[in-house]
Chain A
Amino acid sequence: MSDLLLSVLRIAFLITLWWFVFTVISVIRRDLQAPRDAKPLTPARSSNGPSPRPSLRSRKGTTKLVITQGVLEGTVIPLGTSPITIGRASDATVVLEDDFVSTQHARLTPNGTHWIVEDAGSTNGTWINNARVTSPTVLQQGEVLRIGRTSLELRS
């Protein structure tokens, strides 16, 4: 082979090598995002503006928690009067096997007319409509509760 061809191929090899490395990295990236790609997250209601006061109607209406996205998609958790714990621990009410979920991740407590979401000191946070839950917050029907790669909603 001629010298010119060899030096062109030498650079071409290095470019291909780096291209391979970046392909591997992009596979890792897609691996992390896979569930989100499947169904983009669209909040049902804008998180701007103050939340309307919960009415008696919503208390009556709220009977179940539905997992709308994630490994357990489609699972329906009937709601009673006792609190619901969400986490990776086997004794949680809803066990989410997800790297992004902490052992004790979040708690849902009934309070008279509505359900209150609290973060139980999770690493990656609990989110309502893309806003991080920092203090106990009321979860309205139609709002998306996001924990790790799982999305949950209250339904009537």
Chain B
Amino acid sequence: MTDLARRYRVSTRRSAELALIIGAWLLGVFAWILVDGATSNSSLGGWTSLISAGVLMLVTHTIIRWQAPYADPIIFPVAAALNLFGLAMIHRLDVSAAQRAAANETAAPTPDVYLQIMWMAVGLVLLMVVLFIVEDHRQLQRITWISGLVGIILLFLPLLPGLGSTVNGARLWIHIGGLTFQPGELAKVSLTIFFAGFLVVRRHTLALVQTKILGVGVPRPRDIGPLLAMWLFALLVLILERDLGTSLLFFGVFIVMLYVATGRRSWVLIGSGLLVVSGFLAYRAFGHVQIRFDVWLHPFADANGNGYQIVQSLFGFANGGLFGTGWGQGYPDLVPFAKTDFITSALGEELGLTGITALLLLYVILIERGARAAVATRDPFGGLLAIGLTTVLALQTFIVIGGVTRLIPLTGLTTPFLSYGGSSLVANYIILGLLLRISNAARRPEITMSTEMIEVNQ
């Protein structure tokens, strides 16, 4: 493959990727040193974690060089950088939890950062496995329906008595052995594969327009079935698992993919209409949804009760200001769930607007590269799959950061690559593996055209 690249003088840009990976790692080390310096924490355990994270990243880079030599050089380093910032922040919160325990003379809680590095390793290994198994992303089109079935099973697995458990009101976790896992995160991947395979076959029918209202083509009523089915499915997730975020994410991804597949704006309008209807229904039916909305509109009305978390988060951002308090010098541990849902407000406090803007730019770049792979892919299935997977990352980032900054009502989701949470990290690395595979196909020079083919046409 590299031989071919040399002959056609197509740069694979793998060395740029390596340089960016090293840069990302050094930044992560810098952050970690600052945390330990500011909190006067001895960093003996830190170096082993940092070095193992670095080695893992280099191994992944080598496998990408071998298995997907033309893949986009930006995608992996940017995700790895976000992951390293997440690790530094989780470590920082571990340190303050330990210090608080020492002050209260209670037993120190076990640090979470080592578990997160273990999950990072699992995620990177699965990324490599994806690159090995999926030699061509078009193979995935063959498992469209199996993938859909697996997705539904994974999503509803926590409902099984004995296996599933309810944490913080949402029934999303399963226990296997001593480990807890959120199978719904993996369902994101398999359901996106299903959507892509399903829509690529139906896209021409779904794009048919019968009448036009106000200049917007309206699809035929009998084609609305899939969208309605998806809507009911999302409602079912909301009702049975009490999870607003996951339900919103799946429905949003489906609408975006439907729009990309058909190019009809009317689908977006119909989808948004259904979203408003279900939002209203959920508001009336569920107490927890109602609380979320009320807290969003009037957070300070109940600042010490239901609004406590979001108010603390806003205080954190305010305390951070333009340049932040610096690693280890703020009070991000005052926000409940700072390691998971609210890691953005922790980073916002310690890095300030300047730092959080840079992090958001990294997300924008990651999403742009995913969309770029989708545009450049030669086959419609690959394009749809890439845009679907990118939308999973984009919507998740928007929903959770929008919620933390009080732009939209808060829904429990993890920030991709940043938050503490193994299932989410593993699923996001699998998504990354698929995106790398698709971008490899998109950027590989086409060599099937021979001169004979042209001569026939003359």
Q: List residues of A whose CB falls within 8 A of some B CB.
A: 1, 5-7, 9-11, 13-14, 16-18, 20-21, 23-25, 27-28, 30-31, 34, 38, 71-73, 75-80, 82, 93-95, 97, 99
Contacts and interface: CB of A to CB of B under 8 A. Distances in A.
A25 B31 contact: no
A9 B326 contact: yes
B351 interface: yes
A10 B9 contact: no
A20 B23 contact: yes
A103 to B, nearest CB: 11
Nearest to B328: A6
Given A10-B324, A23-B19, A31-B16, 5 more contacts: A6-B34, A13-B31, A17-B358, A23-B23, A97-B445
B13 A71 contact: no
A1 to B, nearest CB: 4
B233 interface: no
B109 interface: no
A24 B323 contact: no
B348 to A, nearest CB: 13
Contacts of A25: 365
A25 B365 CA distance: 8
Interface residues of B, number: 48
A6 B27 contact: no
Contact of A95 (B8, B13, B323, B449): B449
B376 A10 contact: no
B438 to A, nearest CB: 14
Nearest to A78: B458
B4 to A, nearest CB: 11
A73 B9 contact: yes
A10 B5 CA distance: 43
Given A14-B351, A14-B354, A27-B13, A99 B37 contact: no
Interface string B237-271: 00000000000000000000000000000000000
Contacts of B30: 13, 16
Contacts of B62: none
Interface string B15-35: 010011001100100110010
Contact of A82 (B19, B24, B458): B458
21 contacts: A1-B38, A6-B34, A10-B34, A10-B324, A10-B325, A13-B327, A16-B27, A17-B351, A17-B355, A18-B358, A20-B27, A20-B81, A21-B362, A27-B13, A27-B74, A73-B8, A73-B9, A75-B449, A82-B457, A94-B454, A97-B445
A88 to B, nearest CB: 8
Interface string B321-358: 00111110100000000000000000000011011001
Nearest to A80: B458
Contacts of A13: 27, 30-31, 34, 326-327, 351, 355
Nearest to B366: A24
A10 B351 CA distance: 8
A9 B34 contact: yes
A11 to B, nearest CB: 7
B288 interface: no
A24 B74 contact: yes
Interface string B436-458: 00000000011001010011011
Nearest to A32: B372
A76 B452 CA distance: 11
B20 A23 contact: yes
A79 B458 CA distance: 7
A3 B23 CA distance: 26
B9 A38 contact: yes
Given A34-B11, A77-B454, A6 B445 contact: no
B8 A27 contact: no
A56 to B, nearest CB: 22
B375 interface: yes
A58 to B, nearest CB: 19
Q: Residue among A13, A71, A79, A82 with the most chain B CB within 10 A?
A: A13
Q: Which residue among B9, B24, B77 has the maximum number of chain A CB atoms within 10 Å of its CB?
A: B9
Contacts of A27: 13, 16, 20, 73-74
A22 to B, nearest CB: 10
Contacts of A78: 454-455, 458
A71 B454 CA distance: 16
A137 B326 CA distance: 62
A34 B326 CA distance: 38
Contacts of B325: 10
Contacts of A38: 9
B151 to A, nearest CB: 31
Given A17-B358, A97-B378, A71 B81 contact: no
Q: In the A-B complex, list the 10 residue pairs whose CB atoms are closest, starting with the nearest.
A: A10-B326, A97-B446, A80-B458, A1-B37, A99-B376, A17-B358, A93-B457, A27-B16, A71-B445, A34-B11
